[in-house]
Structure 1
Amino acid sequence: MIDKIKVMLVEDDIEWQRGIADYLGDHPRIDFVCCVASRKECRAALQRVAIDVVLMDIMLGEQSGNGLDAALDIAGEHPAVQVIILSSIDNDDELFYEAFLGGAYDFVYKNDFEQLPRVIVESVENETSKYGSRLRKLVFDRKKDLLTAGDVELLRHIAQGRTQQEISLLNNVSLAAVKKQVGRLLEKFDWSGSSKELADKCLKWGLIEKK
């Protein structure tokens, strides 16, 4: 069992930085190591400092949900590090479900921050949360069911950096047909970003494999 749990906070709101640091600072099991304000700073800090648990704000800067992208980075690059998502957004089920698909251990609303010490300790003592794995599988299966074999192949091409024109030539179909299929994919996932961003996310989620 870890004597002192090394914790890093990823939070760009100064008041929350101070509040959480003060709240956790005197806990006998927790060593509050550092606080960073962005996804980039988080990745850099994890290269330098030994961390057991990352408390990840779901909204960094002005972009809702980009803390989930940072959590997904950690799951792929530092699988031994547990990520606990922090959120003040309490009415978005998709963000909640995506947190677990991306490998989060747990999800704590900021108005329940008093739960943090308990959840932090549990994340180290029990590698899998009581419902995290089941939610992860449920969301994975739900997203996997959205994809046809043709969708998977299209996403692989996009993840490899091929343009829609290149895909149309490779598959001997019209450019209009490729554009239409891409549009359907974005609609299926209710995706507002680019098709490349969606393909990269599906790759990290394990929905497709890069050949």
Structure 2
Amino acid sequence: MHEPVRLLLVDDHTLFREGIARLLEAEDRLQLIAHFASPHDALASSALAKTDIVLLDYDLGESNGLQLLRAMRSRHPELKILMVTAGLDQAAIRQLLCEGASGIFLKHSAPTDLIQAILMIIRGGSWIDSSILNKLTAPAPPVQRQETRPTLELTPREQDVLNGVFEGLTNKEIAARMSISESYVKALLQQLFEKTGVRTRSQLVRVALERQRA
């Protein structure tokens, strides 16, 4: 039997923490090892080193989840963090993903979606809610820059695969959508890895967003 995914929750709303705890107690594949209202307590906890995925609220009162995300990843670079929020603007979404968040989950989504998001992330994928994805693909406001990074030039098929990765689809699901073989999807994904210099899907999402902002 596989070990359950170990989770740590940071949210300053007591009712939400208790609700998540009850949800996870009923799921054998997941284990909530600690939960905190205070960012300071979460960062100081020894449980953090044993955690597979952090469920992190973006709005933590006087601070925000981005600050805690940075602090956690500076101490534990391989830590996977799923941001949990009631809603964010486009700039905040891009910044969180570029800073290393493995996904963004909306609090009004179904509980079963949270389970799916956690399992997808532990397998190396990412989770981006469909409404969040719509904000990401919307044109960003023009910004004057003195220096720009090279844009990411993709073929139409590579772009289709990248869109599937943004949506959290598996290789099989992307293949079905594009009416191509799963092995071809893997080959296209490998081309994307080589073009961006990354090795994982979550890294691919971050680099693609950074290039889009340039």
Distance 2:48 2:83 in 1: 22
Structure 1 residues 141 and 56: alpha-carbon distance in aligned structure 2, compared to 1, 3 A threshold: same
Matched, 1:80 2:150: no
Partner-residue secondary structure (3-state), 1:12: coil
Query: What per-residue deviation string (whole Å, max 9, x for no partner) do you get for residues 9-47 of structure 1?
Result: 000001111111111111011011111112211211156
Partner residue, 2:206:
136
Query: What per-residue deviation string (whole Å, max 9, x for no partner) do you get for residues 95-134 of structure 1?
Result: 1111101101010000015211111112112256633434
Question: 8 Å contact 2:8–2:35 — kept in the other structure?
Answer: yes
Distance 1:109 1:11 in 2: 13
| Alignment-mate amino acid for residue 41 of structure 1 | D
| Alignment-mate amino acid for residue 98 of structure 2 | L
Query: What per-residue deviation string (whole Å, max 9, x for no partner) do you get for residues 55-111 of structure 1?
Result: 000000144xx1011112222211222100000024x11111111011010100000
| Alignment-mate amino acid for residue 102 of structure 2 | Y
Structure 1 residues 19 and 111: alpha-carbon distance in aligned structure 2, compared to 1, 3 A threshold: same
Partner residue, 2:146:
none
Q: Which has the larger radius of gyration?
A: 1
Partner residue, 1:5:
5
Matched, 1:25 2:11: no
Distance 1:2 1:81 in 2: 19
**TM-score, with normalisation over the residues of structure 2?**
0.59
Q: Which sections of structure 2, spanning at least 5 residues, go unmatched?
A: 128-164, 167-201
Distance 2:47 2:33 in 1: 14
Question: 8 Å contact 1:97–1:135 — kept in the other structure?
Answer: no
Matched, 1:103 2:173: no
Partner-residue secondary structure (3-state), 1:111: coil
Matched, 1:34 2:104: no
Question: 8 Å contact 2:12–2:37 — kept in the other structure?
Answer: yes
Structure 1 residues 74 and 113: alpha-carbon distance in aligned structure 2, compared to 1, 3 A threshold: farther
- Report how many aligned residue pairs link the two structures: 141
Partner residue, 1:205:
none
Question: 8 Å contact 1:86–1:110 — kept in the other structure?
Answer: yes
| Alignment-mate amino acid for residue 105 of structure 2 | V
**TM-score, with normalisation over the residues of structure 1?**
0.60
| Alignment-mate amino acid for residue 107 of structure 2 | K
Distance 1:93 1:22 in 2: 32
Question: Counterparts in 2 of 1:1-211, with a 5 A limit?
Answer: 3-46=3-46, 50-63=50-63, 66-90=64-88, 92-114=89-111, 115-126=113-124, 130-131=165-166, 132-141=202-211, 145=214
After TM superposition, what 4+ stretches of structure 1 lie above 4 angstroms from structure 2?
46-49
Q: Which sections of structure 1, spanning at least 5 residues, go unmatched?
A: 146-211
Structure 1 residues 123 and 135: alpha-carbon distance in aligned structure 2, compared to 1, 3 A threshold: closer
Cα RMSD, aligned residues only:
2.3
Structure 1 residues 94 and 2: alpha-carbon distance in aligned structure 2, compared to 1, 3 A threshold: farther
Question: 8 Å contact 2:81–2:102 — kept in the other structure?
Answer: yes
Question: After alignment, is 130-139 or 71-80 more displaced?
Answer: 130-139
